[in-house]
Amino acid sequence: MIQLPLRISLFLLLLCVLLVLSPVTAISLSPGNSFSGVPTIAKGDPVFIHGTATGQPQNGLQVWLFGNNYVKITTVSTNADNSYEYELKPADTRSLAPGQYFVLIQHPMMNGVFDIYYNAGTGTVINRQLGTGTSIFQLTGSGSLQTPAGANALMQAINSQNIDDMFASTSFIVSSPTAFINPIGDHVVGEKFTISGSTNLAAGDTLMVEVTSSSFKPTYKSQSAEFSGAAGTVKIEQGSGALNRWSFPVDASTFKPDEYIVKVSGITVDVTGSTLFNIVEARPITVTTVVTPVPVITERTLPSLPPTTPTPAPTTQKSPLSIAVIIAAIALVSCALVSKRK
């Protein structure tokens, strides 16, 4: 959204535009407010253009929508609280070609009439204040200006000194609907996982997600028609960039090992995306036994020593007693005995 300079002399009658959050799921534009980048919508998503206009103009506000070889001009009334809202319905955006579109909201201001208006009979834009009405440029038909030249010429015309009309503008981009699925990879029977992706559809839109076995097919009444897969709807969530995101939980406890097809499709917008992944047999659980190592005591072997021969204890040789000593000893004993008797 672009903030435009306004005439100071008509400040009190300024076309004030406020950023109002819309409760519906689509982009919501407030002409006159600045924003980062140009919002993008998918064909088939609605667009809401809303704000506040002072003065309660009797003829309402004039809405100019410019695109590549496309022009739409209409009016929208203001409410009691000075608010207004103009909606491009899904059927409207579905017919728009991809590209950038410009929206201009024109206020008639003091005189209550649109001094710059479109003549459908001639395809020209008329300045009511020049004489009885002068054609200033060709908007449709042969020799018409292409966007954005037509939008620029209209803004210059309304900014003319003899015109008291005011305007504010914004723009958006229309692109073909897209739905992407993130890589899924292989999963096993009984596993729970999430399939996710991104899309340029508006946050709050609904997608249908279908997961079916590639071997599933119609059968005769007498044959088994066992279904392996899942299906459901998901709401698109606001993304952090140009694309929004979605996710779908899957419980593969009833799935059979097979190749599976994932298809995501729009409920109100014609968009599809698809991919493949595999469900495989559950891997056997391997029980790992933790063995606590037992410390091993290693006996140290001492080096062998050469055998030693024990040394015999020395023997003390007793000296033999002489016979004379023995006889003398006996004689002394005998004398002692004779003396004792006396």
Query: pLDDT of 140-161, one tens digit each?
Result: 888 888 777 888 899 999 988 8
Which domains are present in the chain? 8-175 (no CATH), 179-280 (2.60.40.10)
Average pLDDT rounded to a whole number, residues 4-29: 39
Which of 157-171, 221-235, 303-317 is modeled with the greatest confidence? Answer: 157-171
Question: In this predicted structure, which of 111-115, 154-158, 186-190, 327-331 has the lowest mean pLDDT?
Answer: 327-331
Per DSSP bridges, beta strands 166-175 and 40-42 are: parallel
**169: CB partners within 8 A, 6+ apart:** 2, 4, 31, 32, 102, 103, 104, 105, 151, 155
Per-residue tokens: 117: 């208006």
Give 284 or 173, the one with higher predicted confidence.
173
pLDDT of residue 333: 53
User: Among 85-89, 183-187, 245-249, 327-331, which is the least confidently predicted range?
Assistant: 327-331
Assess whether pLDDT exceeds 60 at residue 11: no
Per-residue tokens: 296: 């091993």
Amino acid 25: pLDDT: 44
Residue 246 CB burial class (10 angstroms; 0-12, 13-18, ≥19)? buried
The string of pLDDT tens digits covering residues 247-270 is 999 999 999 999 999 999 999 888
**pLDDT beyond 60 at 326:** no
Q: What phi and psi, each to the nearest 5 degrees, are found at residue 171?
A: -150, 165
Stretch among 111-115, 150-154, 218-222, 261-265 having the lowest mean pLDDT: 218-222
- What share of the chain has pLDDT > 90, as a percent? 46
Answer whether 135's CB lies under 8 Å from 125's CB.
Answer: yes
pTM for the full predicted model? 0.65
Better pLDDT: 293 or 143: 143
Report the distance separating Cα 268 and Cα 121, nearest Å.
36
Cα(240)–Cα(220) distance, integer angstroms: 48
**Residue 36: pLDDT band by 50, 70, 90 thresholds?**
low
* 315 pLDDT above the threshold of 70: no
* Per-chain mean pLDDT for the chain: 79
Question: Using 50, 70 and 90 to split pLDDT, how confident is the model at 193?
Answer: very high
| Closest alpha carbon to 2 in 84, 103, 70, 88 | 103
Using left for φ > 0, alpha for ψ between -120 and 50, and beta otherwise, residue 99 falls in left
